Amino acid sequence: MEDGKLTVRAVERALDIMLCFTGASELTLTEIATRVQLHKSTVHRLLASLEGKGFIMRDEATDKYRLGYRLWELSANLSKEGDPGIILLPEMERLRDQLGETISLYVQDGLVRVRIQAVQSNHAIRRVAPVGARMPLYVGASSKVLVAFAEPGLLEQLLTSADWPTGLDTQAYLQQLSDTRRAGFATSVEEREPGAAAVSAPILDRGGRLVAALAVSGPANRLTLELMQEQAPTIMEAARRMGTMLR
């Protein structure tokens, strides 16, 4: 073996298959096979193994493959008291009540970010934030946080990606990332969405590794840059507390 990684190929392939399902909830065998660049029979055997253990299931109606509920069971063991999405909810609600704006939780997933949990602002005019929404990783406050605190490889991947917006000033972007790392939070004003603004801070686990980005977002006329900078310490403190809840 050349690469020096003491690892088992079949397992990595099986895990890659599971990762195909981020962004696509149902896939056929051949769709999976083309995505992971393997032959149908290989994928079929790996899927059979995954299905046997409940990590993958098949939709009765469409006969397509989807993720299995075993994953839900396991994710309940991630933190002290169960599912992180549930654990962090009270803290998010507290922050919402304190700041009055919509609170979201994002994780990086490949070259996009996913909104994994959200509590809505009580204002009449508010950002609507559906859980499960996927958005690009190159604009927005949470994107900056997710990239700035991620493993170094991600940035490189992003910059060389075909989706990278050609009009963007790379120098300025890299500066923003290092600013984010230093300050411990990021802001954005009408970056991803006209009329919207956001502040975001990283949630880190005990080892200091990035788990998710906590974000406060709302209309740009209410969330001015000054206000967001004023609120940043509160948000960072909430994110820190949330990190400790995940063990």
Partner DNA sequence: AACAAGGTTTCATATAGTGAAACAGTTTGG
Partner DNA sequence: CCAAACTGTTTCACTATATGAAACCTTGTT
Nearer to DNA, 16 or 193 (CB): 16
Query: Strand pairing partners for 136?
Result: 112
CB 69 within 8 A of CB 59: no
**Is 44 a residue that touches a copy of itself (CB under 8 A)?**
yes
**Is 91 a residue that touches a copy of itself (CB under 8 A)?**
no
Identify what 80 binds: a copy of itself, DNA, none; CB under 5 to 8 Å per kind.
Answer: a copy of itself
**Is 80 a residue that touches DNA (CB under 7 A)?**
no
**Is 81 a residue that touches a copy of itself (CB under 8 A)?**
yes
- 46-65 residues in contact with DNA (CB under 7 A) are 46-47, 63-65
**How many Å apart are CA 54 and CA 103, to the nearest integer?**
33
Spacing of C-alpha 36 from chain mean position:
21
Closest CB 23 distance from DNA, rounded Å: 18
**Is 90 a residue that touches a copy of itself (CB under 8 A)?**
no
Neighbouring C-beta atoms of residue 96, cutoff 10 Å: 18
Nearer to DNA, 58 or 240 (CB): 58
Nearer to a copy of itself, 83 or 191 (CB): 83
Nearer to a copy of itself, 42 or 234 (CB): 42
- 13-42 residues in contact with DNA (CB under 7 A) are 13, 28-30, 38-42
Nearer to DNA, 11 or 131 (CB): 11
Binding site for DNA (CB under 7 A): 6, 8-11, 13, 28-30, 38-42, 44-47, 63-65
